[in-house]
């Protein structure tokens, strides 16, 4: 049994999610201690517990410690992930995208296609929003040979949750290599602000602030409203579509937070992205490590990407991958504030 210390590195939920994915993929029993030890509220929260139970369903795993607040978890997978139809309901506004992050990797290499219904939060602080997974991450997985189709049925925000999204996965027999060292030409750039159960003028103000701050043409801003949300909500996105990659910068509104502050967060994120010419942003870098590692371990995949300085989150992820997989991950300075990450067997 592989022992994982959940307090190492960034000490958050990513260690749990990736450990579960890797345990399913390799058939490795795992025990995770000190779960989320560096968070204000350590232990398993609702979204983490949902991810644990979802992973257990995929691999018919034996569980010990699968309870709210638990700081230790034992996970013993009993069968290879086959694919199929699944529904995972968090029951709170916890992030559906983080639950998807747990179950998606093994389903990318499953024997059969999969259909997943996820219910909970779709736009959460400290988690990738639905649009990031759909527009930035999924197209790169398609280049590796697997297809992910995501549909947002209803947005979900704190505190009510109630969001719903549907995910269709067409797996690959193996994940091919991905090399992403240049952005290529800029194809389009636009800001999109969305509100749910709130005045449309909030979204309009955010779009105006972003386009003016970034010196974009007014037509690059789009304001809209989501219907049927269970609670008020607001999300703002700046999408930068290049020839080889799409970056999605986002921010969420909340009670007492002026629309201009939401817009300024997105402007700052866009400015950070353009501070280097690296194609892969900070959050996408962390997301790509696992599929590249699986491609290198199980086949002829792997590859390389260029990003900005690696976050502690990504460094922790690299260490975890090397504990499970027979792969080599090297990083080297590429100049101009960027780093090349190479993943190979």
**242: which 2 tokens?**
């290049």
Measuring CA to CA, which residue among 325, 338, 269, 270 is closest to residue 296?
Answer: 325
Report d(CA 200, CA 236) in Å as an integer: 13
Report d(CA 108, CA 293) in Å as an integer: 13
Measuring CA to CA, which residue among 334, 331, 339 is closest to residue 308?
Answer: 339
Report d(CA 121, CA 128) in Å as an integer: 11
Angle at alpha carbon of residue 32, lines to 26 and 37, rounded to 5°: 140
* 134-159 per-residue burial string, b: 16 or more CB within 10 A, e: under 16: bbbbbebbeebbbebebebebbbbbe
Sequence-distant (6+) residues with CB within 8 A of 300 are 174, 176, 177
Sequence-distant (6+) residues with CB within 8 A of 100 are 116, 118, 133, 167
**21: which 2 tokens?**
């994915």
Helix (H) or strand (E) holding 297: helix 282-298
Q: Distance from CA of residue 31 to its chain's centroid?
A: 23
**Catalytic residue among 123, 190, 313, 317, which?**
313
Is 230 in the active site?
no
Q: Residue 311 carries which DSSP code?
A: P
Give helix 96-108 / helix 13-26 axis angle, nearest 10°: 20
Q: Which residues are catalytic?
A: 313
């Amino acid at each position: 049994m592989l022992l994982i210390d959940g307090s190492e590195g960034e000490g958050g939920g990513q260690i749990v999610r990736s450990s579960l994915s890797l345990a399913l993929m390799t058939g490795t029993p795992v025990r995770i201690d000190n779960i989320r030890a560096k968070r204000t509220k350590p232990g398993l929260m609702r979204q983490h517990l949902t991810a644990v139970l979802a992973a257990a369903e995929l691999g018919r795993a034996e569980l010990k410690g699968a309870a709210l607040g638990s700081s230790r978890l034992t996970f013993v997978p009993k069968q290879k992930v086959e694919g199929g139809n699944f529904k995972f309901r968090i029951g709170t506004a916890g992030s559906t995208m983080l639950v998807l992050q747990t179950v998606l990797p093994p389903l990318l290499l499953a024997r059969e296609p999969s259909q997943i219904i996820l219910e909970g939060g779709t736009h959460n602080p400290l988690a990738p929003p639905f649009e990031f997974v759909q527009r930035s991450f999924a197209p790169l997985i398609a280049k590796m040979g697997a297809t992910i189709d995501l549909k947002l049925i209803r947005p979900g925000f704190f505190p009510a949750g109630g969001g719903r999204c549907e995910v269709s996965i067409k797996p690959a027999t193996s994940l091919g290599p991905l090399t992403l060292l240049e952005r290529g030409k800029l194809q389009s750039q636009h800001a999109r602000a969305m509100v749910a159960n709130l005045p449309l003028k909030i979204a309009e103000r955010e779009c105006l602030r972003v386009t003016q701050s970034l010196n974009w043409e007014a037509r690059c801003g789009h304001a809209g409203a989501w219907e049927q949300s269970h609670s008020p909500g607001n999300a703002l996105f700046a999408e930068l579509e290049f020839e080889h990659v799409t970056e999605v910068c986002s921010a969420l509104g909340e009670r007492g937070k002026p629309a201009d502050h939401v817009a300024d967060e997105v402007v700052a994120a866009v400015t950070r992205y353009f501070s280097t010419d690296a194609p892969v942003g900070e959050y996408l870098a962390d997301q790509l490590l696992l599929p590249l590692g699986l491609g290198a371990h199980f086949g002829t995949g792997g590859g390389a990407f260029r990003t900005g300085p690696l976050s502690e989150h990504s460094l922790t992820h690299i260490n975890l991958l090397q504990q499970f997989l027979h792969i080599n991950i090297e990083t080297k300075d590429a100049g101009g504030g960027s780093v090349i990450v190479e993943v190979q067997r």
